[in-house]
Structure 1
Amino acid sequence: MKLLSVNLGRPKAVPYTDNPEGLTGIDKQPVEGPVRVAAPGPKGIGGSGLAGDAVCKREHHGGNDQAVYAVAREDLDDWERELGRPLANGSFGENLTTEGLDVSGALIGERWRIGAGVVLEVSSGRIPCVTFQGHMGEKRWVKRFTEKGASGAYLRVIEPGEIRAGDRVEIVHRPDHDVTVALLFRAVTTERELQPRLLAAGEALHPEVREWARKYVEQHAS
């Protein structure tokens, strides 16, 4: 398992974003390393966990629980075949493009060591938005992405440090539950009845998702 590329975005004015300022950092490009990785601060204040990476709408993106976004190269390859066009590393706005790692199959709370010292923890999956659809330029993109269910993973920074393309990725902790990123994604999009199962992930679950799941349980208690 390894890191194929580290991808950073710069603020860019586009016509398709719902950001009132008209800017987005979703167009991420591979960079030469090393890149500093650290917890950016609370959502709404902190942006990306990667130095030099732009987060332009911080009320919905970035912050400690969404500091880093990872996508498997294997999922990009699958989409290439379906869309009939090439997708470079960073095409989904991901910070990390990995190889040999089942990103959407990762457990919530699972920890990865990248390179010599950086440790990241899986917190949730990516929910597609209008900016993502505009960036991809594909009809019904949000619906198609949701139906496939390979969302990629958001991660929080447990141990900061530097990373670069080619670094080894090692899974150093697997929690004792069965809540994967893919299960979480289905629970918050197409199969809401799965939400009670998410609570088994405990405090590792993204706080907003944990609150949604708790409210669902309360509303459907017999």
Structure 2
Amino acid sequence: MKLLSLNLGRPEPVPYTDQPQGLTGIDKQPVDGPVRVAAPGPKGVGGSGLAGDAVCELRHHGGDDQAVYAVAREDLDDWERELGRPLRNGSFGENLTTEGVDVSGALIGERWRIGPEVVLEVTSGRIPCVTFQGHLGEKGWVKRFTRKGAPGAYLRVIEPGEIRAGDRLEIVHRPDHDVTVALQFRAVTTERELLPRLLAAGEALHPEGRKAARAYMEKHGS
């Protein structure tokens, strides 16, 4: 398992974002590193956990619980076959393109050590947006991506440090529950009856996931 590619974005004006300033950092480009990784601060204030990486839409992106976004190269390869077009590392706006890791099958609260210093913790899956659809240029992309159910993972920073492309990735903790990123994603998108199951992940779960699960249980009495 390794960090195949480390990807950073710069603010760029585009016609397809709903961001008021019309800027996005979704077009992330591979860099060798080293890049400093640290908790960026709370959502709405903090952006990316990677130094030099732009997050232009702070309402829905960035912050401590979405500090880093990872996608498996294997998932990009699968999409390449399905879409009939090449997808370079960073194409999905991911900071980390991994190799040998089942990213969407990772457990909420699972911890990864990347290189000698950095430890990250899985919090949730990525919810697709209109900016993502515009960036890919695929009609109906939001629905298509959601239907596939392999969203990649957001992670928070547990131990800061520097990472480089090619660093070893090691799973150093797997929690004792069955709440995967893919399950969390389905629960908050297409199968909301799964929401109560998310609470088994405890405090590791993204706060918005905990809020949605509790609201569902209050409404449905379960």
User: Distance in 2 between the 1:187 and 1:209 partners?
Assistant: 9
User: Distance in 1 between the 2:147 and 2:57 partners?
Assistant: 25
User: Distance in 2 between the 1:35 and 1:111 partners?
Assistant: 19
Q: Deviations over 1:72-130 (max 9, x none)?
A: 00000000000000000000000000000000000000000000010000000000000
- SS class of match (2:62): coil
1:76 counterpart residue number: 76
Q: 1:179 corresponds to which letter in structure 2?
A: V
Give, in angstroms, the shift of residue 67 of structure 1.
Answer: 0.1
- SS class of match (1:172): strand
Equivalences, count = 222
- SS class of match (1:112): strand
Give, in angstroms, the shift of residue 32 of structure 1.
Answer: 1.8
1:178 counterpart residue number: 178
1:2 counterpart residue number: 2
- SS class of match (1:166): coil
Is residue 122 from structure 1 mapped to residue 122 from structure 2 by the alignment?
yes
- SS class of match (1:155): strand
1:22 counterpart residue number: 22
Structure 2 length as normaliser, TM-score?
Answer: 0.99
2:191 counterpart residue number: 191
User: Distance in 2 between the 1:119 and 1:177 partners?
Assistant: 20
Is residue 132 from structure 1 mapped to residue 135 from structure 2 by the alignment?
no
- SS class of match (2:101): coil
Q: 1:41 corresponds to which letter in structure 2?
A: G
1:38 counterpart residue number: 38
User: Distance in 1 between the 2:164 and 2:145 partners?
Assistant: 28
Q: 1:136 corresponds to which letter in structure 2?
A: L
User: Distance in 2 between the 1:202 and 1:44 partners?
Assistant: 23
- SS class of match (2:7): strand
2:109 counterpart residue number: 109
Q: 1:178 corresponds to which letter in structure 2?
A: D
Where structure 1 has 5 or more consecutive residues not aligned to the other structure, the ranges are none
Runs of 4+ aligned structure 1 residues displaced above 6 Å come to none
Identical-residue share of aligned pairs (%): 86
- SS class of match (1:80): helix
2:87 counterpart residue number: 87
- SS class of match (2:170): strand
Give, in angstroms, the shift of residue 161 of structure 1.
Answer: 0.3
Q: 2:24 corresponds to which letter in structure 1?
A: T
Is residue 67 from structure 1 mapped to residue 67 from structure 2 by the alignment?
yes
- SS class of match (2:142): helix
Q: Deviations over 1:183-213 (max 9, x none)?
A: 0000001100000000000000000110000
Q: Deviations over 1:162-189 (max 9, x none)?
A: 0011100000000010000000000001
2:213 counterpart residue number: 213
Structure 1 length as normaliser, TM-score?
Answer: 0.99
User: Distance in 2 between the 1:61 and 1:77 partners?
Assistant: 25
